[in-house]
């Protein structure tokens, strides 16, 4: 998993993804990548 590869906890990965979403939610590239994820994927 990502957390194992980066040697960080799963909680830290989740927090980083939440920060990314908060900071990039208006970015066109972020929106393009995000639309490919399932609608129920919360991060």
Amino acid 36: pLDDT: 86
Residue 9: CB partners within 8 Å, gap ≥ 6? 3
Q: How many CB atoms lie within 10 A of CB 7?
A: 7
Cα 3 from chain centroid (whole Å): 13
Look at residue 42 in the predicted model and tell me its pLDDT: 63
pLDDT of residue 40: 80
Q: What is the pLDDT of residues 1-43, one digit of tens each?
A: 788 888 899 999 889 988 988 999 899 998 898 888 887 876 5
Residue with tokens 């939440």: 18
Which DSSP category does 37 fall into?
Answer: S
């Amino acid at each position: 998993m990502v957390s194992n590869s980066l040697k960080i906890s799963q909680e830290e990965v989740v927090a980083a993804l939440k920060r990314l979403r908060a900071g990039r939610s208006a970015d066109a590239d972020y929106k393009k990548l995000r639309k490919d994820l399932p609608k129920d994927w919360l991060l």
